[in-house]
Amino acid sequence: MARKTPTIVAVALNPSWDRTIEVPDLEIGRHVRGRLLSVHAAGKAVNVARLLASLGTPAILTGFVGDGDRDRFAASFAKTGVRVEMFEVADAVTRENVTLVDPARSVDTHIRDAGFPLSGDDLERLRKKLHILAAKGAYVLFTGSLAPGMDAEAFADLLRVCSEKGARVAVDTSGPGLEAVGRVADLWLVKPNRAELAEIAGRPVDSDDAVRAAAQALRDSVDEVVVTLGADGAMLFARAGAWRARSHLDPEAVINTVGAGDAFLAGYVHRHAAGAKPDECLRHGVACGTAATLQLAAGRINPHDVTTVLEKVEVTPLA
């Protein structure tokens, strides 16, 4: 009998529309002509849900969008394995990030909007939603930035709702969101990069030994800690052991590293939900993260690239 895929929920507290415009010979302060390249729903949780679907694993996307944007978000996921169950916030506008691509100078300029704040009533709506979705054995992925003004305790409250229901809760965020990690027991996964791990630890983690020590310190409240290290791969610290994975890909093949961390998380969860062992989840996560760097568009992968890269991922146990 085929294994039933558990419920996987990606929570977007601060999603966006990402608009990319090509502007040759861009000069600030002048009227210039541009060409719209793309507009798409984005944000880390949005990317992870889309990536899971591209790997063949269905997901639910919930969280908040601006007034009138729910149907537009849902339309962007038509004919995918993502079910959109977002809340609209009255009189709010979904943030829009703009990337200006100057092909003449091979330079990109990224303009990031802050987003809109959430009221106590908004968070209570999401709290009730998560209480329904976060069944025992489900995966709930909190990934991306918090909404403006949202503090660590408000975020920790959402994490507790899910962990207390028996869901596997994953956290991939920064800033105030990282403060919540130490306030909640029984998290399944935390995925910081080196800088974020240093933020949690309150000290630099410039060496492998420092990474190991800081990650192991989290293991009292977190089952699995994955530290992504960019071109140096990733380390996994779990109850079953510890491993390091590296992809032996030619650096010249890399096109774009934006969204590679989202692809890593999607690949890791995809294999974990299928019942794979931790080291195999790590291998697949690194393969998906690496495959994402081969795409011009952020947060996208070609499944064929994943298969090819898997053969070049080396996983070794850590003593």
Catalytic residue among 18, 172, 262, 305: 262
Q: Contact, 213 vs 203, CB < 8 A?
A: no
H or E element that contains 87:
strand 82-89
Structure tokens at 213: 């020590």
What residues contact 103, with CB distance under 8 A and at least 6 apart?
Answer: 22, 24
- Residue 262 annotated among the catalytic residues of the structure: yes
Question: Helix or strand or coil: residue 15?
Answer: coil
Q: With b meaning 16 or more CB within 10 Å and e meaning fewer, what string describes 165-190?
A: bebbbbbbbeebbbbbbbebebbbbb
CA pseudo-torsion sign 63, 57, 220, 244: negative
Length of the chain counted residue by residue = 319
Look up residue 52 and give its two tokens. 């899971």
| Active site residue ranges | 262
